[in-house]
A and B are shown apart, each in its own frame.
Chain A
Amino acid sequence: MAMLPNIRIDIASSFNDKGFKKASRSSNLLTKQFKQMGVALTAALSVRSLIRFSQTAVKEFAADQDAAMKLAKTFDNLGMSFEGAIANDYINKLQFSSRVADDELRPALSQLIRTTLDFNEAQKILNTALDVSAGTGMSLESITSALSKAYLGNTTALGRMNIGIGKAEAKTISFDQAMEKLNSRFGGQAAVAADTYAGKLKLLSIASEEARESIGQRLVLALELLSKDQTVEGLADDMQTFADKIGLAAVGLGNMLGILNRKIQFGGRTLGEILYAAAGGGFIDALAKLGGVAEYTSGKKRTLGAPGAMQQAAKDAAERKRLLAEQKKMIELEKKAAAEKAKREKLAAAQRRANTIFDMETIQIVAALQGKVDGEERLRLTALLALQTQNYVAAEKLADLVIRLQQPALNTLGVTLAAGENIDQFIVKLISSQAKLAGLQLMAEDFPIPEDIFQEWEDSLDEVLKKLLEMLELLDEIAKKKEKTGIFALDALGFKTLKSYQDYRSGERAAIISNSSVGGGTTGTNTNFIPSSTNTSSTTVVVNNAGSVITEQDLVMSITEAIYLQQKAGTQIVFSSTSI
């Protein structure tokens, strides 16, 4: 598991002055060496600032060298050693033009090289990434990663980055289209950013970093030369101790060159100018030449290669070309395979259609069509044939025609097919109407249905008549009046019987004969109901006043009773009066 140094609690620290002691010893050693060279410059300068500067310089050189070697190794592994040597120079120049430090550019280029296997392509994508980074403010690392993934076919990362390519678009867009879009949208942004004040400050920062790295490199070389075994490993195991030693050594050959050119003035002239003049003008240049020679002879300077490197590079380039050609071939083969598959599917469909002539069901349908069939049946058969031959478009159209022909029958089912509706919608409507009908039927089945709906009514009317009779008998007994019957009939023996309601309904109306005189008269008034022979629903009431006049009350009662009876029978009563 990687250690995360900031998630720790240190218990009981102790001060370790080993480094400082080593620094002090190395400083003493260097002082002696300067005395041997005959130059005593350290007295005029601050040792502490030199130490700090040199420590930083060496560390930065070490980090830069590490990154450069990793990039070179990447190129080597991909068989692009020649381009690897060019790449570092390209990076060194690009950082000044784009104002992006080389420690950002190298990982980005490394990732693109691993993805594209082509230095030119990687350069193009890196330029686009620099423009997008300058335009959006996003890190070069994130944009390079997204573009690498897009190059390999995974463009969804571009949709997540808010660089003008939406999520849905990112799923369908190709890499070339995405690059075109980005270049049109963000082209030139890096150059614009470089011209801004911030860009110029960044340039100064990069330049000073490069200077420190360069000095650091030369400090390392100087110490190696001084240590006589000429290897870094001979001096220390890790960079921390090494940097301490170098820093405390302070004044290596290259550092001295830088310091000499600072503007430390004596009488208006720089220290460098004074020494230059004192040493006959060639001191600085001679030192620089010496440094350059020492660097070259030690073999530490980066060159384009030893003998045989060109041939090897040519071999590697040829291998890479071969790999690219194979990759292209694979893509071509895949395309061919896809085309073959489409052709086969087409043939299979044609074969299926051809096979329908041997299909028994199809033969039967065709035979039926040749027979005597009406228009609608012909349409149905043709639709069936279209289904058999998998011609679904034609089948749908024919089915639609059949359904429209059935429109009158469908209307009775409560289904109306509107213009423009298709079969699916029709079927939905049909199902819905049939479902409602079925529901109604189920509800109707639950209703209780009596055996004879009128029987109970007739029975209750008979009961009512019975009660009326009893009331009348009672009245007779009380008033000793003659019976008023209308609801009674005389049987064969002359006994009164109660007529049933059926007799009323059938048109036989009971004659209501009033033989009683109400109010004490000796003779009564006849009130006859003469049923109409033609219209059983009407009855003419004739009041014959024969005999003694009955009282008004008796007459009213008689007429009223007759009217009630007629109404019960369902006869319409029309009132009219005739003056006598």
Chain B
Amino acid sequence: MSGVIELKKALKQYSPDLLKEMNGEIRTALKEVTDAAKAKVPGSAPGGLYNWQDDGRESKSRTSRERPFPKYNSLIVRRGLTYSLGTSRPNSRGFSALYSLLNKSAVGAIIETAGRKNPYGSKDSQSNNPNAGRRFVAGMSGVGSLKQYSNSQMSRGRLLFAAYVENQGKALDAVMKAIDKTAKKFNERSRTHNERASAYGNVA
């Protein structure tokens, strides 16, 4: 057996307690990152953008797009900052993620990535105010600055990505250690079981 995916399958079948223990440790490590990201979410719309605050009224699209711009709701943002212990589908290069940290909500994604591509606003903006984009990005500075955790520009963000950068690899380290520890324990159990089985066989 090789690979974490096969390990997880084997644990599920033969040692569910070890799987539960491993998942618990991994969950603790990932929760630290998501909690740190949730702590960065302000209670009300940041940067003085008070009209962006969700007041319960249905919003309408003010542009040619059908979907209206999502209103700021800190509960929704926090709820969208989560993690997944399941294996993802393979990407085009054949790689699957074993565990993931996610920022699922639309408004959370907006806060995470605002200003990443156009720090001074996009020229394709449909707003009547030419400085709307700049104002919005400037308002996001109240949440935090964009931080990058890898070489890719797509890994810049101010919520989840920033929390991951600040975590300084501790979560990844903890996940690897948990997998390694569990694998060792599983292998130890398997060896002990085999030894006993062969001992019983000899006796028989």
Contact = CB atoms under 8 A, between A and B. Distances in A.
A564 interface: no
Given A9-B160, A160-B126, A1 B104 contact: yes
A358 interface: no
Interface residues of B, number: 45
A160 B101 CA distance: 39
Contacts of B95: 13-16
B63 interface: yes
A9 B94 contact: no
Nearest to B98: A12
Contacts, number: 99
Contact of B5 (A7, A10, A14, A20): A14
B103 A157 contact: no
Interface stretch (B108-116, B139-147, B183-191): B108-116
Secondary structure at chain A's binding surface: helix, strand, loop or mixed?
mixed
Nearest to A12: B98
Contacts of B106: 1-2, 4
A536 interface: no
B160 A7 contact: yes
B97 interface: yes
Nearest to A18: B90
B64 to A, nearest CB: 3
Interface residues of A, number: 29
A9 B30 CA distance: 11
Interface in B96-155: 96-106, 108-109, 112-113, 126, 128, 149, 154-155
A14 B4 contact: yes
B179 A19 contact: no
A9 B64 contact: no
Contacts of A15: 94-96
Nearest to A9: B101
Contacts of B109: 4, 7
A11 B104 contact: no
A1 B104 CA distance: 7
Nearest to A161: B64
B54 to A, nearest CB: 15
B46 interface: no
A9 B149 contact: yes
The 9 closest A-B pairs by CB, nearest first: A142-B64, A10-B97, A7-B103, A9-B101, A11-B99, A12-B98, A16-B90, A145-B64, A13-B95
Interface of B: 3-5, 30, 62-66, 80, 87-90, 94-106, 108-109, 112-113, 126, 128, 149, 154-155, 157, 160-161, 164, 171-172, 175-176, 179
